[in-house]
Amino acid sequence: MENDEKANKNEDGGKSLAFNLILAAILLIAIPLFIIVGGAWRYAVNEATVLINENNLEFTNQLSSQIDDHLASLENNADILIDLLDSRRRISSDVYLLTQDIVDNEEVLHNISFFDSQGYLVYSTGHLDFDLLIDNELSAELDQREDLSSWEEWLVIQDDDTRYLQFLRGYSNGLITMTVNTEGLKEILGSATIGRAREVFLFDDSGQIILGTDSDIIGSKNISDYSFFKEAMEEDQFSVAEKDAFSEENELIAAGFIADLNLGLAVSQPASIAYGIINSTTNILLGGIFLTLLLGILVSRQLLKKIVSPLQAFSNKAESIASGEREVDFSGGKIKEINKLGNSFNKMLTQIKEKEDRLKSQKEELAASYEQLEAFNEETAALNDELEESYDKMNDMVNRLEQMIDLTSNLSSTVELQEEEFLQDLLATAITMIPEADYGSVYLYHEDSVEFVATEGHVLEILKKIKFPRSPFETPKGEIVVVENIETNTLPTLPPEESKIFLEGSKEIHETLTFDLFFEDTRMIGLSLDIARDNYISFSAESQKTLEAFYSLATAFYSMQQMSRLKGEFQRDILMAMVRLLSFHDEYTEFHSQNVAELAAQIADKLDLTEEKIKNAYWAGLVHDIGKTLVPGRILNKPEDLSDEEYEIIKQHPVWAYEVLNTSDKLAEIARYVLHHHERIDGDGYPKGLTKEEIPLCSRILNVADAWDAMRSKRAYRDPLSRSKAREELQENAGSQFDEEIVAAFMEVLKNNEN
């Protein structure tokens, strides 16, 4: 029921197949179209912007040239007037005649005024209401200029609310000012924009607009904060920028600076007009896209009806199967693929009906089997109890096996394992693995006595005080023996005082499980496990079998110990043979290697090094000079000083010794000590020039021992040094040639040897 509700919920909440397919079609068509149109529009805008800016820039240059040409006549007229005035040396009463022809050109000139060298008005063609037109700033400049004839300047002047463009030219006795007719400039600006959607304006270096085709912005707006104004003022060439300068919409502006007039010229064009064609084209494209999408949706919808209708019928049949109907036919579809799917469903429906029949039959069989299972249940419960008991036993056996494996794995390192340490581990593991055992002991057989080496429960320190005879402990070779009340066999063999000590150091025993270990017919050790007197049980056959495994482990241990001793003796014999070979080659080192080995071992012991390190120091001392067998005898036994070449050969003997010894994995560590035994603490040694802690500790020990015995021995080139002189040499070179700590330890060794 719950599954039906979930199915209905999923059906109601999901989107129809037709909707999803239409949506997919729209996305597949619309997204590429929008990407293409958007990219094309962006490219067109960029290209149009560049083209429009170039056109505006060209237009600005042309208009600037027209203004220059328009105002050039003023400068020429000023030159004519000055030539006339300079020739007459005064302003005569017929000055009117001089200016009449010029003033008549009203398209360019609005007014001409003459000023004397003090700045006072002498004559003007216009109607002015004041006598002094020159302002204070120009008066100050008049006072400073000595030669007025070099003064030429374009100015912007203010009269009430009107700003004029004025040309100022000096001559020998004063100034001439010519006021430009702005109407003529307006006509030039206006004619230049006829038929073009542009605005043109002139502005001074303060950013104030003085003239333009749009009268609303003249004098009402300062453009000094706009970037195109700053670029026009700073650059000789015209620059182009896109700014929002005069309205809320963006404008394309071309601006530049007219250097001769000290004025800026700008042409602005609204971006909406500049991009009009592009915007219209874009709207048409968007409309086309919309129509394409709409047509695609309509076509897709018709096509989907042909697909969705059969699928809907197919879905209705599937729902009838879910409600329990089994007589449904999915074939007869008009679409090939859907018809194949219907045939597959018919086969599946047939299989379902067959499985339902089989399940019904199996259900009846299960009902009959249920009663049998109930009967088996009681048997299973009983078996379960037995299995739990067996599991506990098996778990106990696994724990014992793990302990045995741990003890066995230790045999891989028995070469270095001490005998007493192994026997203690052996006893402790046996006590743990044999459940009946309460106490235990391990003892060594000597020639006429027994010595306890490990105990569990008994007091080892007390038992070690007694010299036990062998007979009460001995058992037959290779047998595991059970003995009752073993104290009755032991006490009669002891003197009264030792019997009393024995009772103090041992626990009361009910039963003992024991064996003796033989190696090459020699009785080596005995192991005994004891049950306490008040524990009335006996060792099981299983426990006796387990103890046989410990017998095998102990036998393996002593076999490996014997093999290790034989191997060590063989290795020592080989090395001693090499040392003897060296004594034949070097007559002064017959006992030198043995002396260095013994001294090195004593120093290592004084430094509290491990037993392994002490052994390595001894072996390294014994073979430290075997590399000299490769040095020619004439060099080794030469009584005179060695040449540099001969000394270099001598210095190779640690390297040759290393190469020989390093061929054996067992001697690799000793080879490293021999290689560096001639290194110095200060780094002046050989062969590597190592310093301080870089030199292995055993190599530093060999360095001191070798130097001492060399100084105390007779050599071909000198007699032996006295004991005090050799001691003095070591102490003086401690910290440079020798390790100070090792020298101090060696002095203690010498002191002990002397005592």
Q: What is the 3-state secondary structure (H, E, C) of 292-332?
A: HHHHHHHHHHHHHHHHHHHHHHHHHHHHHHHCCCCCCCCCC
Q: What is the 3-state secondary structure (H, E, C) of 439-466?
A: EEEEEEECCCCEEEEEEECCCHHHHCCC
Which uninterrupted H or E stretch holds 77? helix 17-88
The phi and psi torsions of 169 (rounded to 5 degrees) equal: -140, 125
Single-letter residue type at 446: H
Q: Are 646 and 716 in contact (CB under 8 A)?
A: no
Q: What is the layout of strands, in order, in the sheet containing 251-258? A: 209-212, 199-203, 263-270, 251-258, 239-243
Q: Are 78 and 98 in contact (CB under 8 A)?
A: no
Q: For 487, what's the count of Cα atoms within 13 Å in the CB-facing half-sphere?
A: 16
The phi and psi torsions of 551 (rounded to 5 degrees) equal: -60, -45
The phi and psi torsions of 199 (rounded to 5 degrees) equal: -120, 140
Q: For 266, what's the count of Cα atoms within 13 Å in the CB-facing half-sphere?
A: 35
Which uninterrupted H or E stretch holds 112? strand 109-116
Q: Are 462 and 497 in contact (CB under 8 A)?
A: no
Q: Are 557 and 424 in contact (CB under 8 A)?
A: no
**Size (the chain), residues:** 755
| Average pLDDT by stretches of 10, the chain with 755 residues | 45 52 67 73 68 73 76 75 66 52 60 78 62 56 74 73 75 80 73 67 77 68 72 62 52 73 76 67 73 73 65 69 66 64 74 80 80 74 62 50 49 55 84 90 92 92 91 89 88 89 91 88 90 91 84 75 60 62 58 88 93 90 84 79 87 89 83 93 92 93 92 77 89 92 92 80
CA pair distance 170, 555, nearest whole angstrom = 134
The helix/strand count (H/E) of the chain reads as 23, 15
The phi and psi torsions of 417 (rounded to 5 degrees) equal: -75, 130
Helix (H, G, I), strand (E, B) or coil at 253: strand
Q: Are 657 and 624 in contact (CB under 8 A)?
A: yes
CA pair distance 129, 407, nearest whole angstrom = 131
Q: Are 49 and 243 in contact (CB under 8 A)?
A: no
DSSP of 131-148: S--S-HHHHHHHHH-S-G
Residue recorded with tokens 């599954």: 3
Q: Are 711 and 729 in contact (CB under 8 A)?
A: yes
Q: What is the DSSP letter of 535?
A: -
CA pair distance 292, 688, nearest whole angstrom = 87
- Angle CA 598–600–604, to nearest 5: 120
Q: What is the pTM of this model?
A: 0.34
